[in-house]
Amino acid sequence: MPTTVILLGALMLVMSILLSPLSSRLGLPVLLIFLIVGMLMGEDGPGGILFKDFELAFLLGNLALAVILLDGGMRTRAETFRVGLRPALVLATVGVLMTAAMAGATAYYLFDLHWLTALLIGAIVSSTDAAAVFSLLQGHGLRLNERVSATLEIESGSNDPMAIFLTLMLLLLIEGQGSGSELESLWSSLMLLVKQFGIGSLTGVAGGLAIVTMANRIRLTPSLYPLLVMAAGMTVFAGTNELGGSGFLAIYLAGVVVGNRPVRMMPMILQVHDGLAWLAQLALFLMLGLLVSPSDLLPLAGSGLALALVLIFVARPLAVMTTLWPFGFNRRELTFISWVGLRGAVPIVLALFPVIAGLPEAQQIFHMAFFVVLVSLIVQGMSLGPLARKLNLEVPATNEPFRRLPLDVSAAGDHELMLFPLRGELWDTPVPLGRLQLPDNAAVAGVFRNRTCHEPKPDLRISAGDVVAIFATPAVLPQLGKSLTGRRVPKHLNERAFFGDFVLNGEALLGDVEQVYGIEFDELPAELSLTECFARRTKGHPVVGDRVKLGPVTLVARATVADQVVKVGLKMDETHGK
């Protein structure tokens, strides 16, 4: 029997991985494929596997979400908190509360349920899912402007405590119905919210700092560093839950701290954790697919679809518009954030609370949450990439190396071996290696071509298809990216097409620009600098890709430092000057 379970589990993993390329071909979210495979292998499908152990599913679901949040936290740059922290926290608290209320009111109208039970359904489906958001943004290869990406990442990683609080509060109120203890249950719930956020924040930051200290002070075999970070992260997660805090918030914050501090063998840690996060998502969605039977979903199809559509087209947009408009988001950004209200594993895991609590309507609540997640992944997940491009929210990607290998020798310091494949128009014509403009403290280690390593001589001509190996520190990655192109980019994201033909300093005055380029800006005074122009025309924190339209010219923010635009691209209208 144990070997049969192992065999079936392994076959499901293999099948899901082999089917994952269909995601890009059919435009389906890869998580949806995992979910469908799980349903096909369940009791109603060809697999015929009967799996109804909700307590085991709850335990494994929490473990998988912790792994995903740790990886997502380590990939969240601290700089994004400058732009996205305040709006994301408002959306993760007030926005979740509004979404839960609107979804609950809809459930009360659609189903024959007590109003507290209807609100419980609203609370369960109120939060977006970090696993779905992280995987879909990465899977579509999208590099969104920093204001949007930071808000989405921080919100999805921090809105679980509010959803958990609302779910547990409503469960306490339902269980206390008729006993006269409603006020006591409400007070207990409010204290739970304070504990969830307070303890989760403190233990997350402290745990992250402890992980960084351990990883940097203890000399280990290189392959053990990723395991140390994972085990320590799980300790933070479980320990925080034991203290009554939000383990999800704690492990996400611990990941943010680790990812933004100098940590020994960090590239290897990220590479291993990427695989662990994918394994967690695979196992989680396969297991959740096994838990549900399609025959149980069919009776809920009409009302479930109505609830999902209200959540997608009404509740989420209203919550986003209401909470984010004071923070300087434009209409395109608000539209996209409204659409990326992806529901995933979190609502299904939260729907296990009523099952474990033994509520009479628990099965209906679970299947309703599952149906909402299914519709969300299909409707929103399939349109994410095209919508981002239609709304012009993409910005040109930085050129990252194909692979980074840390050098575990003290004499090398924090140098790494970085592999850059040469692709794109820049390398269609062979160029002597000596012409590469490398930053200080970086050197070419070799050039790979047709599985052969060539000595890095200055007269060696390199071209598209070659892979250049360079010894460098992480600090010079932006400079290396200017010299080496890592991939072909769509025409609309080509630097000249996106930023324009001219690059200006933010200190340049509008009057000087008028004289040099023969144009007139009637709307603003000539003594205004381009930096001040962006400060006037853009509300909140400026980010790369922000645009200011001035007559026949569009100014595009090309680089920002400390909330100021320091480099500006200038795009002329095609008709200007003709």
Residues 368 and 300 sit within 8 Å (Cβ to Cβ) = yes
Number of separate helices (H) and strands (E) present in the chain: 26, 11
The owner of tokens 């494994």 is 60
Domains of the chain: 54-177+184-202+211-260+301-390 (1.20.1530.20), 403-483 (3.30.70.1450), 495-572 (3.30.465.10)
Distance between CA 273 and CA 68 in Å, rounded?
9
Contacts of 450 (CB under 8 A, 6+ apart): none
Q: Which of 297, 344, 367 is nearest to 34 (CA)?
A: 344
Q: Can you spell out the DSSP letters for 517-542?
A: HT----SS-TT-BHHHHHHHHS-SS-
Rounded-to-integer distance, Cα 98 and Cα 323, Å:
10
Per cent of the chain over pLDDT 70 is 89
The answer for residues whose C-beta is within 8 angstroms of residue 183's C-beta and 6 or more apart is none
Q: Which residue has the tokens 């008028």?
A: 514
pTM of the model: 0.78
Tokens of 362: 């628990």
Convert the pLDDT of each residue in 519-545 to its tens digit. 777 667 878 888 888 888 777 688 888
In this predicted model, what pLDDT tens digit does every residue of 133-160 receive, in sequence order? 766 666 556 678 888 888 888 888 778 7
Which are the contacts of 564, defined by CB distance < 8 A and separation ≥ 6?
Answer: 506, 531, 535, 542
Mean pLDDT of 38-43: 84
Higher pLDDT, 489 or 217: 217
Two tokens at 146? 């920093």
Instruction: Kindly report, residue by residue over 348-370, the tens digit of the pLDDT.
Output: 888 888 988 888 888 889 888 88
The beta-carbon contacts of 171-175 under 8 Å, at least 24 apart in sequence, are: 171/120, 171/353, 171/354, 171/357, 171/359, 173/116, 174/114, 174/116, 174/117, 174/120, 174/359, 175/357
Residues 6+ apart with CB under 8 A from 516: none
Which pLDDT score, from 0 to 100, does residue 493 have?
A: 61
Structure tokens at 444: 């070419």
Q: Alpha-carbon torsion 290, 294, 295, 300, what sign?
A: positive
